[in-house]
Chain A
Amino acid sequence: MSLSDFIPFVPEIFLAAAGLGILLAGITLGKKGVRTLIGSGVAALIVTAVLVWVFGRPQGGPQVILGGMLVLDNLAVFFKLIMIAASIIALIMSAGFLERSPYGGGEYTSLVLFATVGMMVMASGANLASLYVGLELMALSVYILVGYFKLEVKSNEAAVKYFVLGALSSGILVYGISLVYGTLGTLDLRGIHQALAGMAKLNWAAGLGIVLVGFGMLFKVAIVPFHVWTPDAYEGAPTPVTAFISVGPKAAAFAMFLRIFLGAFEPNIAAWRTVMWVAAAATMIFANTAALTQNNVKRMLAYSSIAHAGYALMGIVAGTAMGLWSVMLYMLIYTFMNLGAFGFVILLESRGYAGETIQDYAGLAKRHPAAAAGMLVFMLGLAGIPPTAGFMGKLYVFAAAVQAGYVGLTVIAVVMSAVSLFYYFRIVVQMYLHDGEEDEPAELIRDRWVEAMIFVCVAATLFIGVYPGPMVGWARAGISALGLG
């Protein structure tokens, strides 16, 4: 291996170095430099995106680099750019929030950057070991971010719960990986694929390994019954962190999920797909039902994000090329909608820390028509109503499931989408149909940057909803990666 082998890895190296630099700068700047630090974090992410585009793209077909640890393909580029975009938007949304809090910006920004590095490795890992390292880098950074507001009890509680359950799931995952390695003799995804394809009958140890890796992955993307950490973590975390962890890490976990299951474990699809079917159905049914009764908006959005993982899982159940790229597209669309929705929640947090109930939204449409219209778009999008992007995302996932013969699962999904309208529309009902003049109404804070990001998310949600062609084409370019095309 020579130094030039590291060239495709330059974006990650740069981002990690930038994270370290910002960490050091944060110590000297202290509380005053929040905007500078976040600004430099955003700049570093933008540079990283450019570097990904320049160095990180595959020349020709998929390219294995660094001794088989990472692979450069369109799937990786697609997910890396989604994650970088999510990190940029989340960081910008955090600026005002952090300034109003007693905490500094250095560690915060650098943790977001480290998490992004981890996610980028997860998106391009070609080996279970590198995937796992990426996952842990992301996860550890995120645990700290969730507990970043160290004087808040809720933030601490959320971090501890998230950490304990996350560590447990990592343990399960590693155990599964060890069984796979023990029976198949390799950690390389292609090697595993070949070994499994060559086996006439799956032996029980390898089977158990696949099951445990599956459980670990379901944990990370928060699928029922491995979802219990999500509502607490989402509710307790500072809202910009919630916005971040609900999209970036989720997209990264799905990228890893796709690589492992539609890549390495694809020969045994018949064995694990039924489990995924049941998990997807249970997730959609349970999460959407549970969301109905939530009064805390962040908790409700947490259950909503669990439900969305369930929809996306349908693409993996389908197991086809279309299933693969529909999940990619879904993650892209979901990222914008969810970030936008949380951006609105950030604006509403004028009355202290994370105390926003649904009733706080009463009459907002009258007092803040533009922002309320934005939230309406996100609620419609998350519910999957045309002409928003959320509809397109669901459409492709559902079409993939129908094409693969899973009409029953699709029926469950559409029925639960109809149920989901009910809770998304509780917010809309409050905003538009109630006056909110009975009791002390909540006010939105003015934060130009958050507003700008919400606008970006609205534009993306509507644009992809009306004209999905280019995004679909881009996602489809990723399918060659796993040899499903």
Chain B
Amino acid sequence: MQIPHLLTIVTIGPAVAAGVLGLIPGRYERLHRWLALLASVVLFVVSLFLWTGFNPDVAGFQLVDGPIAWIPQLGINYTLGMDGISLLLVLLTTLLIPVVILASWTSISERVKGFHISLLLLTTGMIGAFLALDLFLFYVFWELMLIPMYFIIGIWGGARRIYAAVKFFIYTMVGSVFMLVAILYLGFFHHQLTGVWSFAYADFLKTAPQLAMGSSILHSPQLLVFLAFALAFAIKVPMFPFHTWLPDAHVEAPTGGSIILAGVLLKLGTYGFLRFNRALFPAAWEACVPLILILAVIGILYGAWVAMVQPDMKKLVAYSSVSHLGFVMLGLAAGTIASTQGAVLQMVNHGLSTGALFLLVGVIYERRHTRLIADYGGIAKVVPIYTGLFLLVTLSSIGLPGLNGFVGEFLILAGSWEKYPAVVVLGALGIIFGAVYMLWMVQRVFWSPFAHEENRDLKDINLREVLAVLPLLVFIVWIGVHPTTFLSPMEAAVRLLLAR
């Protein structure tokens, strides 16, 4: 079955739902929750038609919606399109939204209406950014994500939420303003070459690689434009040394905010590297691969080491994100087909595993109002189901064969081996460290001697929370057991991208 304008429906749908919520007075809190949940589940179901309507043999963009003239004077169009890479990431997004709403069911108790409106607007921004085929449109969606996330951290966050929100905001904004100049410059360059204004991705694929590469940075427009894009994305990923906003944002954000931040927002950085930096500026990319590899490896190891000494579970998971995203960047920089496929898969994996980890940490935080590892210990007997789920997610995160993380990391490392064996060796160390800090945390929280009497009455995970985490577990296992389901749709797209 083919739905017309499916991409537009999936993109704009959440914003329409947000508008509907906006009309309902804020005192009907239950109604807001249920409507938002309904909207997000419907969105997920509708987004499954993307999957059924997708032809994996076609490498280019499919289900293209547009172009519709938006700002004709500058050749800016509304164009959405999807290939195998964006398909997976959009599905990850639509999967995570209901999870976030369920996870926030009781933990968000103030300004419920505003929270769900923010979340739905954020969804439109994220999906739009994955699907936009016009760089200007991409930028608008990119910016659209900023404000809702800022509010989610700043209003519903923890004690230092304002500091964290402002920091998140400034970092992201600094990155994106340079990207705006770069996009304008590309449009101008296209105009210079062809005499036509355009911001279409397809047009930039032809003209952007023609930007000159000079002897020094300042004399090479391609490198400058590349760096302007790279800065925006490196902050979002976040790559070392632009990562410092992340732990603050994660620790202060509410559980739902952390899930969406780790699950999807960070992926926009890596997605941007692949879609724009890699494809539009091949020469500059080639020149910067060593730098990206070095930063990726530093990110992997540094993130792991810092995670190891964190007393706070959430902060530990946050730093583990820095490490995991380092793997993704490594796979992208290595640039073989296997490593790139692994990187894209690992984006999805990280969204599932880390999303689930944040969710589970949130579950126990809601009961005890502490996330310090030292405040727990030996609670496996008190909360057996919770323990089992946590362990499963942990194993997925550290890459146990049979679960999703293994497939992604294996593809990345195996695919990079032929080109950069030394880097792979260092990166593989990161996997070991990852196992150490995750298992050590699990051991201290669940199995070390029972230390705190307050934990005696800890309630086990309830049905709603299980329902929230269950969809993630399904895909964690599915990807681990049968990754082909997810690798084959993106293969043609990855090949096409790397062939440029």
Q: Establish whether residues A385 and B146, one from each chain, have CB atoms under 8 Å apart when the complex forms.
A: yes
Known interface pairs A429-B154, A432-B155, A476-B73. Does A422 touch B181 (Cβ–Cβ under 8 Å)?
A: no
Q: How far is the CB of A7 from chain B (nearest CB, A)?
A: 34
Q: How far is the CB of B98 from chain A (nearest CB, A)?
A: 26
Q: Establish whether residues A386 and B181, one from each chain, have CB atoms under 8 Å apart when the complex forms.
A: no
Indicate if B158 sits at the interface (CB-CB under 8 A). no
Q: Which residue of B lies closest to A369 (CB)?
A: B26
Q: How far is the CB of B199 from chain A (nearest CB, A)?
A: 10
Known interface pairs A386-B144, A418-B173, A432-B155. Does A399 touch B187 (Cβ–Cβ under 8 Å)?
A: yes
Chain A positions 386 through 400: 1 when the CB is less than 8 Å from some CB of chain B, otherwise 0 = 110001100110110
Indicate if B188 sits at the interface (CB-CB under 8 A). yes
CA distance A411 to B182 in the complex (A): 9
Q: How far is the CB of B222 from chain A (nearest CB, A)?
A: 14
Indicate if B6 sits at the interface (CB-CB under 8 A). no
Q: Which residue of B lies closest to A399 (CB)?
A: B184
Chain B positions 148 through 163: 1 when the CB is less than 8 Å from some CB of chain A, otherwise 0 = 0001001100000110
| A17-39 CB contacts (< 8 Å) to partner B | none
Q: Establish whether residues A407 and B154, one from each chain, have CB atoms under 8 Å apart when the complex forms.
A: no
Q: Establish whether residues B184 and A410, one from each chain, have CB atoms under 8 Å apart when the complex forms.
A: yes
Which residues from A are CB-within-8-Å of B185? Answer: 402, 407
Which residues from A are CB-within-8-Å of B191? Answer: 403
CA distance A432 to B191 in the complex (A): 42
CA distance A408 to B17 in the complex (A): 42
CA distance A398 to B166 in the complex (A): 26
Q: How far is the CB of B308 from chain A (nearest CB, A)?
A: 33
Q: How far is the CB of A157 from chain B (nearest CB, A)?
A: 35
Q: Which residue of A lies closest to B73 (CB)?
A: A472
Which residues from B are CB-within-8-Å of A396? Answer: 74
Q: Which residue of A lies closest to B161 (CB)?
A: A433
Which residues from B are CB-within-8-Å of A198? Answer: none
Q: Establish whether residues A387 and B140, one from each chain, have CB atoms under 8 Å apart when the complex forms.
A: yes
Q: Establish whether residues B162 and A429, one from each chain, have CB atoms under 8 Å apart when the complex forms.
A: yes
Q: Establish whether residues B162 and A411, one from each chain, have CB atoms under 8 Å apart when the complex forms.
A: no
Which residues from A are CB-within-8-Å of B178? Answer: 411, 414
Q: Which of B144, B161, B165, B181 contacts A398 (CB 8 A)?
A: B181
Which residues from A are CB-within-8-Å of B38? Answer: none
Q: Establish whether residues B166 and A425, one from each chain, have CB atoms under 8 Å apart when the complex forms.
A: yes
- Among A380, A402, A472, max chain B CB count under 10 A is at A402
Which residues from A are CB-within-8-Å of B146? Answer: 385
Indicate if B58 sits at the interface (CB-CB under 8 A). no
Indicate if B70 sits at the interface (CB-CB under 8 A). yes
Q: How far is the CB of B118 from chain A (nearest CB, A)?
A: 11
Indicate if A415 sits at the interface (CB-CB under 8 A). yes
Indicate if B143 sits at the interface (CB-CB under 8 A). yes
Q: How far is the CB of B434 from chain A (nearest CB, A)?
A: 35
Known interface pairs A403-B188, A472-B73. Does A380 touch B147 (Cβ–Cβ under 8 Å)?
A: yes
Which residues from B are CB-within-8-Å of A434? Answer: 162
Chain A positions 344 through 363: 1 when the CB is less than 8 Å from some CB of chain B, otherwise 0 = 00000000000000000000
| B168-207 CB contacts (< 8 Å) to partner A | 169-170, 173-174, 177-178, 180-181, 184-185, 187-188, 191
Indicate if B450 sits at the interface (CB-CB under 8 A). no
CA distance A160 to B161 in the complex (A): 45
CA distance A184 to B111 in the complex (A): 67
Q: Establish whether residues B155 and A469, one from each chain, have CB atoms under 8 Å apart when the complex forms.
A: no
Which residues from B are CB-within-8-Å of A410? Answer: 181, 184
CA distance A402 to B199 in the complex (A): 14
Dominant secondary structure of chain A at its interface with chain B: helix
Q: How far is the CB of B139 from chain A (nearest CB, A)?
A: 7
Known interface pairs A402-B188, A407-B185, A414-B177. Does A422 touch B170 (Cβ–Cβ under 8 Å)?
A: yes
CA distance A386 to B185 in the complex (A): 19
Which residues from B are CB-within-8-Å of A191? Answer: none
Which residues from B are CB-within-8-Å of A407? Answer: 181, 185
CA distance A476 to B73 in the complex (A): 9
Indicate if B241 sits at the interface (CB-CB under 8 A). no
Which residues from A are CB-within-8-Å of B180? Answer: 398, 414
Indicate if B71 sits at the interface (CB-CB under 8 A). yes
Q: How far is the CB of A315 from chain B (nearest CB, A)?
A: 14
Q: Establish whether residues A387 and B184, one from each chain, have CB atoms under 8 Å apart when the complex forms.
A: no
Indicate if B72 sits at the interface (CB-CB under 8 A). yes
Q: Which residue of A lies closest to B174 (CB)?
A: A418
Q: Which residue of A lies closest to B70 (CB)?
A: A469
- Among A398, A403, A472, max chain B CB count under 10 A is at A403
CA distance A407 to B165 in the complex (A): 31
Which residues from B are CB-within-8-Å of A385? Answer: 143, 146-147
Q: How far is the CB of B370 from chain A (nearest CB, A)?
A: 24
CA distance A366 to B111 in the complex (A): 9
Which residues from B are CB-within-8-Å of A366? Answer: 111
CA distance A121 to B191 in the complex (A): 38
| B45-91 CB contacts (< 8 Å) to partner A | 69-74
CA distance A395 to B177 in the complex (A): 11
Indicate if A421 sits at the interface (CB-CB under 8 A). yes
Known interface pairs A415-B177, A425-B169, A432-B151. Does A472 touch B71 (Cβ–Cβ under 8 Å)?
A: yes
Which residues from A are CB-within-8-Å of B154? Answer: 429, 432-433
Which residues from A are CB-within-8-Å of B73? Answer: 469, 472-473, 476
Known interface pairs A398-B181, A402-B181. Does A386 touch B143 (Cβ–Cβ under 8 Å)?
A: yes
Which residues from A are CB-within-8-Å of B140? Answer: 386-387, 391
Q: Establish whether residues B177 and A417, one from each chain, have CB atoms under 8 Å apart when the complex forms.
A: yes
CA distance A425 to B151 in the complex (A): 11
Q: Establish whether residues B184 and A433, one from each chain, have CB atoms under 8 Å apart when the complex forms.
A: no
A-B contact pairs, 17 of them (CB 8 A): A366-B111, A369-B26, A386-B139, A386-B143, A392-B71, A395-B184, A396-B74, A402-B184, A411-B178, A414-B178, A414-B180, A415-B174, A418-B170, A418-B173, A421-B169, A429-B162, A472-B73
B-to-A contact residues, CB < 8 Å: 26, 69-74, 111, 139-140, 143-144, 146-147, 151, 154-155, 161-162, 165-166, 169-170, 173-174, 177-178, 180-181, 184-185, 187-188, 191
Known: A366-B111, A415-B174, A425-B169. 10 other contacts (CB 8 A): A385-B146, A386-B140, A386-B143, A387-B144, A415-B177, A421-B169, A425-B166, A433-B161, A433-B165, A469-B69
8 A-B pairs closest in CB distance: A414-B177, A386-B140, A433-B154, A418-B173, A418-B177, A402-B184, A386-B143, A402-B188
